[in-house]
Amino acid sequence: MNTTKIKSFIFTAILIATAITISCSGDGDGGGGGKQGPPKSIVGTWESANAGDKETLEFKFSRTGVYTSETGTKTNFIYNYAYVGGEEGIEVIFLPASANTPRTFVYSGKDDFFFSTNSKFTRTGSGSEPNPNLFAGGNGTAANPWVITTAEQLWEVHYYVGEEHADKHFKLGADIALNTDENFQWTPIGINSFYTISNYFFGTFDGAGFAISGVYIDNDWDNQALFGNVGEGATIKNLGVVDVSIKGRHAGALAGWLYGSVINCYSTGNVEGSGGGLVSLMDALNGSNASIANSYSTANVRGQSGLGGLVGQNGGKGISNSYATGNVQATGSPGSNSGSIGGLVGTNNGPIINSYATGDVQGENGVGGLAGTNSGSITNSYSTGSVTKTSTGDPLMDNFTNVGGLTSTGNGTVSNSYYDSETSGQSDTGRGTPKTTEEMKTQSTYTGWDFTNIWGIDSETNDGYPFLQENKQ
């Protein structure tokens, strides 16, 4: 564990009902897996402009603690790890004694200076408790969802995580722009907390055809996306997530780890880190109901391994009627084992049906136009992008790496699926059927495909390749 001597601390209040001034100084030892961590103990003073009182706060390097007021009253508080401005920090969420003095602070920063970029949102109400009065309308039921029309209201969804909120319903009533620049980093809704499900999003979020733009994240944490962890039974539908710039250890535009369902959603922008243009990981355990349907991504994806234009790792009930057009590139140095790189899916452990990818794909090992590696099933699908195997830096090892026009390797099945041998630069068989560009633009090539209800093909659409009738960009 790396430790750093912290020289000074400045705390900035966010999500508050009234103006609060924070002053805090002192020395402490930081800690945390490879990044500067919080000091183990800080004593500071905050002053509420509204109440006029002062209280002493003691922050300890744990998930729970207390603060003690001048009158001796003690109140529990909790904090969650967060990243602000590209540095490690803590989101401190107080559970106040009274609802009219909510207190939430963000600790973040660099060696000698701590600053907050999360001061974008203000919040009134009951501190760390949900406040349904902040939404634009509705009552949170399926018949009358809470309506979200501002970034502040979208932030409020953070307070409705955990299985106790599985019955909550949210609906966009307008497009929402989170960023006009990169000064504000988004904290995923349903962020994982020590690998428990208590903070997963279990509700239903309906984009209603609107889009959320400007999701900016830059850190090396797991499951970085608009939604961090989407629990079993949760649904996200009819939503666009556009112009994203997301970097994380497992990253996606819409969801980090998906156990629930994504329907009729799309993404644009750039994603960096093991993951996919729309979703990073879909739960691959037996019995998982994770699924993506009628969705697409045009986002470009970069990282070391487990990269897909739509999904980094597919599992559960899998992917249907979906596509990806973004380029997928492994960026590790030669010999870094940049494997499982696919135009649609990096690692396929579930079914893919009626789907396609057109982006260019590049990596060292396990590289395929549709799926990097395939241990699931691929049915009625195709790819057209170039597939390039980069050198490991060892000529001997290069002879043992795998690449394929549709998919590279694995014990999965491939049925009625094709790739363009001219644009891909590949000619392998047995893991998808190679066809010329002319053949790929001819309906009779696609044995067993439904061109009445699912697929269409004409020279004016999708550059002449088959397209999905209900999922056109």
Span 192-213, pLDDT tens digits: 544 455 689 999 999 999 999 9
| Domain membership flag for residue 113 | no
Phi, psi for 51 (deg, rounded to 5): -85, -25
**Tokens 């629930």 correspond to what residue?**
260
Given 92, 107, 122, the domain boundary residue is: 107
Rounded distance between C-alpha atoms, residue 65 and residue 107, angstroms: 15
Rounded distance between C-alpha atoms, residue 116 and residue 36, angstroms: 15
Confidence at residue 406, expressed as pLDDT on a 0 to 100 scale:
97
Query: Among 118-127, 281-290, 401-410, which stretch is predicted with the lowest mean pLDDT?
Result: 118-127
User: Does residue 11 have a pLDDT over 50?
Assistant: no
Residues 67 and 156 in one domain: no
422 sits in which H/E element: helix 421-424
User: Does residue 347 have a pLDDT over 90?
Assistant: yes
Q: Read off the DSSP letter of residue 163.
A: G
- Residue 379's beta-bridge partner residues? 353, 415
pTM reported for the whole predicted model: 0.76
| Domain membership flag for residue 400 | yes
| Burial class of 90 by CB neighbour count within 10 A (0 to 12, 13 to 18, 19+) | buried
Interval 306-320 mean pLDDT: 95
Rounded distance between C-alpha atoms, residue 198 and residue 67, angstroms: 24
Residues 150 and 210 in one domain: yes
| Domain membership flag for residue 121 | no
> Identity (one letter) of the amino acid at 374?
N
Residues 272 and 387 in one domain: yes
Residue that wins the pLDDT comparison between 308 and 12: 308
Rounded distance between C-alpha atoms, residue 191 and residue 81, angstroms: 10
Confidence at residue 373, expressed as pLDDT on a 0 to 100 scale:
95
Given 57, 92, 107, the domain boundary residue is: 107
Confidence at residue 8, expressed as pLDDT on a 0 to 100 scale:
25
Residues 103 and 139 in one domain: no
Residues 98 and 227 in one domain: no
Residues 231 and 309 in one domain: yes
Interval 7-33 mean pLDDT: 28
Interval 108-135 mean pLDDT: 47
Residues 67 and 139 in one domain: no
Contact predicate 299/270, CB 8 Å: yes
Residues 63 and 145 in one domain: no
Residue that wins the pLDDT comparison between 247 and 96: 247
Contact predicate 319/354, CB 8 Å: no
Residues 6 or more apart in contact with residue 90 via CB below 8 angstroms: 38, 59, 79, 80, 81, 82, 106, 107, 108
| Domain membership flag for residue 118 | no
Residues 320 and 425 in one domain: yes
What is the distance between the terminal CA atoms of the chain, rounded to a whole angstrom?
47
Interval 120-149 mean pLDDT: 79
Strand stretches in 24-73, DSSP E: 28-32, 41-48, 54-60, 64-69
Contact predicate 329/369, CB 8 Å: no
Interval 92-99 mean pLDDT: 34
Confidence at residue 396, expressed as pLDDT on a 0 to 100 scale:
61
Residue that wins the pLDDT comparison between 10 and 346: 346
Which tokens is 274 given? 């093991």
Reported as a single tens digit per residue, the pLDDT across 385-440 is: 999 987 666 666 666 568 999 999 889 999 999 999 999 999 999 999 999 999 99
Reported as a single tens digit per residue, the pLDDT across 266-283 is: 999 999 998 999 999 998
| Domain membership flag for residue 116 | no
Rounded distance between C-alpha atoms, residue 195 and residue 209, angstroms: 32
Contact predicate 358/392, CB 8 Å: no
Residues 390 and 445 in one domain: yes
Mean pLDDT (the chain) is 75
Above pLDDT 90, what percent of the chain? 53
| Domain membership flag for residue 326 | yes
Confidence at residue 196, expressed as pLDDT on a 0 to 100 scale:
52
In this prediction, residue 336 has a pLDDT band, given cuts at 50, 70 and 90, of low
Interval 151-170 mean pLDDT: 91
Residues 307 and 166 in one domain: yes
| Domain membership flag for residue 322 | yes
Considering only CA atoms, which of 285, 276, 273 is closest in space to residue 254? 276
| Domain membership flag for residue 293 | yes
Considering only CA atoms, which of 33, 118, 50, 46 is closest in space to residue 77? 46
CA distance readout (Å), 202 to 150, 158, 315? 21, 11, 19
Residues 41 and 141 in one domain: no
Confidence at residue 331, expressed as pLDDT on a 0 to 100 scale:
85
Which tokens is 252 given? 């996606």
CA distance readout (Å), 92 to 127, 311, 348, 396? 11, 33, 39, 52
CATH code assigned at 364: 2.160.20.110
State the residue range of the domain holding 38.
2-107
Q: Give the chain's domain count.
A: 2
| CB atoms closer than 10 angstroms to residue 166 | 16
In this prediction, residue 131 has a pLDDT band, given cuts at 50, 70 and 90, of confident
